[in-house]
Structure 1
Amino acid sequence: MYHNTDRMFHQHGFGHPLATVGADFHSHAVLFADHGIIEYVFCRQFASNMDMASYVALTRDHLCTILLVNHLQSRETPTITKSDSISQHQMISHHGDHVNLVCGEFWTADRCVLAIQQIHDDEAWAESREEYRNRTIWIDIHNVPNGIVVRILSLASQKNVTQGQVSVDDEALHWGLDLSDCPAAEKEARFRWHTVDFFNALLPQLNVRRVCADESS
């Protein structure tokens, strides 16, 4: 994952962080692939006056909140294991998702990359295979004058259960949308519109949180 960091950010429309300081960037998309697969793509870039070490520690200690696992509802993210560069976090979201994330930290002189992935096969937590989402996240932090630039790329699937991924109808209920009366040909478009609108409503509140974090740093 770490070695694909720059390629993945470029592939998803990010400019070079040091050439775009001060240019906040965000986008979110819902993609439909073959065989009923749904992927959520969340992109964000912003500047902060926090120092790098403080931001990395904040992200590590509140990983699921940073990643909006419970949307804007904060919830403790238990750290199961931790070393100098790797931490593991487990929780069950308020929608029943078993979240089992391993986070690797990769430090260089003026940069830190957090590479985060959902772990599926964990003998210590067999139930995590019952309800989960595929999650792959890169958080890229660069030192700049007066603070840092943060880039976040988050890829997540719809919910998976023991029998496989859930249908668009069941996934829509997770977002408070009932598609039972929607024509089949319109379901994907209506679901996409609803979820993108939901993320648009979240963004101002995310910005308020970021400003509060900056002011307290």
Structure 2
Amino acid sequence: MSNTDSFIEEVTDEVRRDRLYGYLKRYGWIAALAIVLIVGGAGYNEYRRAQQDARAQALGDAMLAALTTDEDAGRAAALADVSADTPQGAAVLAFMTAGAQSDAGEPEAAAQTLQSVTDNGDIPLIYRQIATFKSLMLQADVIDPATLRAGFETLAVPGVPLRMLATEQLALIDISEGDTDAAIARFQSILEDAEATPGLQRRALQAMVALGGDPQAPTTENEQ
């Protein structure tokens, strides 16, 4: 490399360095701000996570303390005094409170507690569906069959996790109304449904036999 080429290369490097320093002076604050935002955002997320964990721990401790009460009525009252500041926490607390109220012989109070979950749009849908199912079960002996049937029918539809359990309850309503054929058909649908648990299918099979039905084993595509 000639002296001239070497000199030109050195000058070019100097120009590049000068430009880089110029850019850093002019736009360096953007990079610094980005770093501050990234670090600050990570710190804020950690703070929020810690706060959520602390609230969940506090709620769990409060519920456990309430459950140490000896009498059912006392546990129900103690749980009713606990408050939750998240929708999921409120749902779990309501389920526990309703259970204690039911154990204490207060089904109406338990149903009202569960209704508060059903009516709360901020609570995830699955919790509201569970609350509806539990409320219907609690009131099965006090509300009219048509209302009870309509309630379970809203849950016995595709896409609802409680669909099979609601179908079982509809079959029991059919039995109570003397419609044995409808009940057998519902139990058979449970036997054939892949979403039904083994325990639920076992109950359906036993019910069909008791009703004088002829349970049909599910057929696979190969058998067809």
Greater RCO, 1 or 2 (C-alpha within 8 Å, sep 6+): 1
Which TM-score tier does this pair reach, normalised by the shorter chain?
under 0.3
What TM-score does the superposition give when structure 2 sets the normalisation length? 0.23
Q: Name the structure with the higher strand share.
A: 1
Q: Name the structure with the higher helix share.
A: 2
| Higher Cα Rg, which structure | 2
